Structure 1
Amino acid sequence: MIFVTVGTHEQQFNRLLATVDNLKAQGVLKDEVVMQTGFSTYEPKHCQWQALFPYQEMQSLIQKARIVITHGGPSSFMQVLKAGKIPVVVPRLACYREHVNDHQLAFARAVQARYQNLLLVEAMPELAPVLANYETQVADLSTLVVGNNQRFNQKFEKLVWRLMEGEVR
């Protein structure tokens, strides 16, 4: 199964939904496709879809999916990584009125360059080849999520221990 999520941002992401729906209609995608369409106005004709899913159901769909296609919202693609999968990230772009600016593209590029743990699709014609070669492309990628929260907590814990021992005044 392929799961597509566009998040809960109030602007549409019709471009991604229509592209995946068309790939399914053309037989390019053989897998069952389930979409979370958010506030988009496009209604898929060849894929199962729902505007929003409860959190637990989203987690279940991510776990069940062979491939997860997500917008460039960090929370969305980090959930996929935490589930041990490499996300296909398609950032929303301002020129299509999908977001207020192109921060999703900038952030996804930065994560891709630094951690190399996502497949970034910057233009819709790239999506079909990425999906067709998904297993090959992700074979050597790591789903390791290195977060600043963990580093912060480790430093904070050391500071607390030093305070308790009277080393810091």
Structure 2
Amino acid sequence: MTRLRLLVAVGTDRHPFDRLVEWLREWHAEVADSVDLTVQHGHTRTAGLPDAVPFLGHAELQAAMAAAHLVVCHGGPATILEARRHGHLPIVVPRDPTHGEHVDDHQQLFARRLGAAGLIALCESRRELLDALAAGLADRSHFAVSVDAEAASGQRAAVRRVAVIVEDLVATAARRPHRPWWRPWRESGPDERRNR
């Protein structure tokens, strides 16, 4: 049997995703003789992982997904769609803001919805990821999906648009000073009313 080719893509977000990379480092140490691992790591430290690259251009990412047997990725809509377009049921570990991996929980909410619909293999814990990887090693077809090129084209455009909207909303929210929306104006003090 040929060696398993695993692509891991954490996206381009400025937040590190050390939790996922550490889980993979521990796992890969046990299966290195049977797995070729490529990790697109963005701003995450990758000491001890082979074939780690910070970023892949669009064409490079497409080629890596086409060549991979399994894809593990963050909960970014565009990455998930691209993996499915290449015939993968992606193993998705959404970024968790409580670990400093993102500014909010939109990846968790999005991935949970896709997981419930059976469109991804959702892994929110180390154990779930290790179980999914073990299943993929045992039977690669478990993480394969059929590709409908016409449907994929329309879905790709829709998901890219959603990804742009979500990223714009997150970026805008991060720049906006926090002001409680539930406080009626008339309850504000005189100094606060002047500053509105």
TM class, shorter-chain normalised?
A: 0.7 to 0.9
Moved more, 28-37 or 138-147: 138-147
Superposition CA RMSD, Å: 2.3
Structure 1 gaps of 5+ residues are 151-169
Alignment-derived partner of residue 26 in structure 2: 22
Query: Cα distance, 1:15 vs. partner?
Result: 0.8
Which of 39, 51, 54 is the aligned partner of 1:51? 54
| 1:74 partnered with 2:77 | yes
Q: Output the amino acid matched with 2:122.
A: L
Cα distance in 2 for residues equivalent to 1:4 and 1:56: 16
* Partner secondary structure for residue 56 of structure 2: coil
Q: Output the amino acid matched with 1:47.
A: P
Which of 30, 36, 50 is the aligned partner of 1:32? 36
Query: Cα distance, 1:69 vs. partner?
Result: 0.3
Higher alpha-carbon Rg = 2
* Partner secondary structure for residue 147 of structure 1: helix
Query: Cα distance, 1:141 vs. partner?
Result: 5.5
Cα distance in 2 for residues equivalent to 1:91 and 1:70: 8
Alignment-derived partner of residue 7 in structure 1: 11
Q: Output the amino acid matched with 1:67.
A: L
- Asked whether the 8 Å contact 1:3–1:67 carries over to 2, the reply is yes
**Identical columns (%):** 28
Which of 91, 111, 115 is the aligned partner of 1:112? 115
Structure with more helix by fraction: 2
Change (3 A) 1:119 1:96: same
- Asked whether the 8 Å contact 1:21–1:47 carries over to 2, the reply is no
- Asked whether the 8 Å contact 2:88–2:145 carries over to 1, the reply is no
Q: Output the amino acid matched with 2:128.
A: E
Query: Cα distance, 1:105 vs. partner?
Result: 1.0
Matches within 5 A, 1:141-156: 147=155
Change (3 A) 1:136 1:4: closer
- Using the size of structure 1 for normalisation, the TM-score is 0.78
Matches within 5 A, 1:122-141: 122-134=124-136, 135=139, 138=142
Structure 2 gaps of 5+ residues are 159-196
- Using the size of structure 2 for normalisation, the TM-score is 0.68
- Would you identify which runs of 4 or more consecutive aligned residues in structure 1 move more than 3 Å? 139-150
Query: Cα distance, 1:22 vs. partner?
Result: 1.4
